């Protein structure tokens, strides 16, 4: 069987052009789009005192800049992507990037809190459009046997943005003020739009005859298990990631949270790199292995989280296990959804943001009710549920074997 799989894999590589290199400059444009979308969401966290003072509101109200952005992403992702399935891909992606330009500029210009929230809502909706397109666009840029690696390259902007977006915003805010930070993001969106227009090829949308209803996409075999695993994994991650500062304080690391986050980010980048190497041939094994390692890191933090060495070891292992999660899950979801991959990806965006919000809410409840010691054990419980689902579904979701074998050796390139 192993020899058969290898022959099919090599046939797929040959049919797709095995010698082709990754289109790095094009992929990095998509990486930057994801990075900018996340930075636009998280950067205000380091600017809350300045935003509050500038608009005459409390820091708590200023914090709603992040909440409203997430709401915009959730509201827009599924309906907009579903309604624009027939639209050519590059103009639609450019609309999302231009939306960030327009709405970040509106926030920078705004003199009232309400208008600022409108700008944040619009930016969040633009982000939802961008995220709904990135996975499918990435897959169409490369042949079948390179799609996992390409998704890993596209996804590397996520941990970088999550780890360094807030401190970068804080540093920029000290230099140019909070409005200057939003102007900076507008300029970045403008440059990204030019990059996309000049370097990215355009792709057609789906023909009307090929479009299936959203409900049918959701009920496609394999889609719901992947979404369930994603929701559990992201929910678990955000329970502790959101409250890493109070958790670190029990080990005397209150002043070193930035170092912890840097360790997490660097380990996550290594995880993405390893995922990019092996995803196309070992997606199921990598997903199960990453979830088991994630569970083990959470158990370590729960068992000996009062010791600084254990916190650093656990956080680094956590980052290594979690770094490749978006690539693994997006690849599995697109494989399951087939031609409806863009709509499925919009569902991914929606469930992802709901899990982020749910992690903050559930983590806060646990923190207030049971203390910091309960946080990592909640991760263990949720991750074990995700391991169980992943192990149980292997026919349509998390299918074993090389992706060339699973999808057919003749499929040189799968349209999302």
> Which tokens hold the place of 346?
């919009």
pLDDT tens-digit readout, 218-249: 888 899 999 999 999 999 998 888 788 788 88
Q: Which residues contact 259 (CB under 8 A, 6 or more apart)?
A: none
Residue 238 CA to residue 415 CA, distance in Å, equals 32
Does pLDDT of 412 surpass 50?
no
Q: Which of 78-82, 259-263, 284-288, 348-352 has the highest mean pLDDT?
A: 284-288
Q: Say what the pLDDT of residue 58 is.
A: 83
pLDDT tens string 365-410: 888 888 888 999 999 999 999 999 999 998 888 888 776 554 543 3
At residue 7, the pLDDT reads 45
Tokens 């699973």 sit at which residue?
406
Which residue is it, tokens 């998704």? 151
Half-sphere exposure of 45 (CA within 13 A, CB side): 18
Distances (CA, A) of 159 to 48, 104, 126: 22, 22, 20
Find how far residue 351's CA is from the centre of its chain.
Answer: 11
CA–centroid distance for 92 within its chain? 20
Max Cα–Cα distance, the chain, nearest Å:
68
Tell me the pTM. Answer: 0.78
Query: How much is the pLDDT for 211?
Result: 64
The answer to whether the beta carbons of residues 92 and 196 sit under 8 Å apart is no
**pLDDT digit string (tens) for 152-190?**
788 778 777 876 777 788 788 889 999 999 999 999 999
For residue 98, what are its two tokens?
Answer: 């231009």
Q: Topology of domain 23-209, per CATH?
A: Growth Hormone; Chain: A; (1.20.1250)
Residue 110 CB partners (closer than 8 Å, separation 6+): 55, 116, 119
pLDDT tens figures, 264-317: 888 988 998 888 888 878 889 999 999 999 999 999 999 988 899 999 999 999
Range in 115-129, 209-223, 232-246, 323-337 with the lowest mean pLDDT: 209-223
Task: Count the Cβ atoms, other than its own, within 10 Å of residue 88.
Answer: 12
Residue with tokens 């082709």: 20
Per-residue DSSP letter, 400: S
- Euclidean distance between CA atoms 390 and 278, whole angstroms: 18
Q: What is the pLDDT of residue 416?
A: 39
> HSE-up of 380 (CA within 13 Å, CB side)?
14
CATH homologous superfamily, domain 212-404: MFS general substrate transporter like domains (1.20.1250.20)
State how far the Cα of 11 lies from the Cα of 270, in Å rounded to an integer: 30
The total number of residues shown for the chain amounts to 416
Report CA-CA distances (Å) from 21 to 25, 371, 380, 416: 11, 50, 39, 21
C-beta separation of 227 from 333 below 8 A = yes
pLDDT digits (tens, 9 = 90+) for 62-103: 878 887 888 888 888 888 877 887 788 899 999 999 999 999
Render 128-197 in DSSP notation, one character per residue. HHHHHHHHHHHHHHS-GGGHHHHHHHHHTHHHHHHHHHHHHHHHHHHHHHHHHHHHHHHHHHHHHHHHHH
Q: Which residues contact 174 (CB under 8 A, 6 or more apart)?
A: none
Q: Would you give the end-to-end CA distance of the chain in angstroms?
A: 29
Q: What gap in Å lies between CA 68 and CA 60, rounded to an integer?
A: 13
- 406 burial type by CB count under 10 A (0-12 exposed, 13-18 middle, 19+ buried): middle
Q: What is the pLDDT of residues 1-30, one digit of tens each?
A: 444 444 434 444 444 444 468 888 999 999
Q: Do 23-209 and 212-404 agree at the fold level?
A: yes
Q: Are 84 and 208 in contact (CB under 8 A)?
A: no
- Give residue limits of the domains in the chain: 23-209, 212-404
Alpha-carbon distance 258 to 387, whole Å?
A: 30
């Amino acid at each position: 069987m192993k020899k058969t799989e290898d022959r099919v894999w090599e046939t797929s590589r040959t049919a797709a052009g095995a010698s082709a290199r990754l289109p790095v400059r094009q992929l990095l444009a998509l990486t930057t789009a994801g990075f900018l979308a996340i930075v636009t969401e998280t950067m205000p966290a380091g600017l809350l005192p300045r935003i509050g003072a500038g608009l005459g509101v409390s820091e708590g109200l200023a914090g709603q800049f992040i909440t409203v952005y997430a709401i915009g992403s959730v509201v827009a992702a599924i309906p907009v992507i579903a309604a624009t399935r027939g639209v050519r891909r590059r103009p639609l992606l450019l609309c999302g990037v231009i939306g960030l330009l327009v709405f970040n500029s509106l926030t920078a210009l705004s003199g009232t809190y309400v208008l600022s929230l409108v700008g944040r809502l619009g930016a969040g909706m633009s982000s939802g459009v961008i995220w709904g397109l990135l996975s499918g666009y990435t897959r169409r840029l490369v042949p079948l046997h390179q799609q996992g690696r390409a998704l890993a390259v596209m996804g590397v902007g996520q941990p970088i943005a999550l780890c360094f977006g807030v401190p970068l915003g804080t540093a920029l805010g000290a230099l140019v003020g909070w409005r200057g930070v939003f102007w900076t993001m507008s300029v970045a969106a403008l440059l990204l739009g030019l990059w996309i227009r000049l370097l990215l090829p355009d792709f057609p949308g789906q023909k009307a005859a090929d479009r299936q209803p959203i409900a049918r996409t959701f009920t496609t075999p394999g889609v719901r298990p992947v979404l369930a695993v994603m929701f559990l994994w992201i929910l678990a991650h955000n329970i502790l990631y959101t409250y890493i500062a109070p958790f670190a304080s029990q080990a005397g690391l209150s002043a070193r949270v930035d170092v912890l986050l840097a360790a997490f980010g660097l380990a996550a980048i290594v995880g993405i790199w390893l995922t990019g190497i092996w995803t196309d041939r070992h997606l199921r094994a990598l997903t199960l292995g990453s979830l088991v390692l994630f569970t083990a890191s959470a158990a370590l933090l729960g068992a000996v989280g009062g010791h600084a060495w254990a916190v650093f070891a656990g956080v680094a292992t956590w980052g290594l296990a979690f770094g490749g999660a978006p690539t693994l899950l997006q690849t599995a979801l697109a494989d399951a959804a087939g031609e409806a991959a863009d709509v499925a990806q919009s569902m991914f965006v929606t469930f992802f943001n709901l899990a982020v919000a749910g992690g903050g809410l559930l983590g806060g409840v646990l923190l207030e009710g049971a203390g910091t010691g309960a946080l990592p054990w909640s991760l263990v419980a949720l991750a074990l549920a995700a391991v169980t689902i992943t192990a149980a579904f292997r026919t349509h979701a998390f299918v074993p074997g090389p992706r060339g074998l699973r999808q057919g050796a003749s499929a040189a390139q799968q349209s999302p």
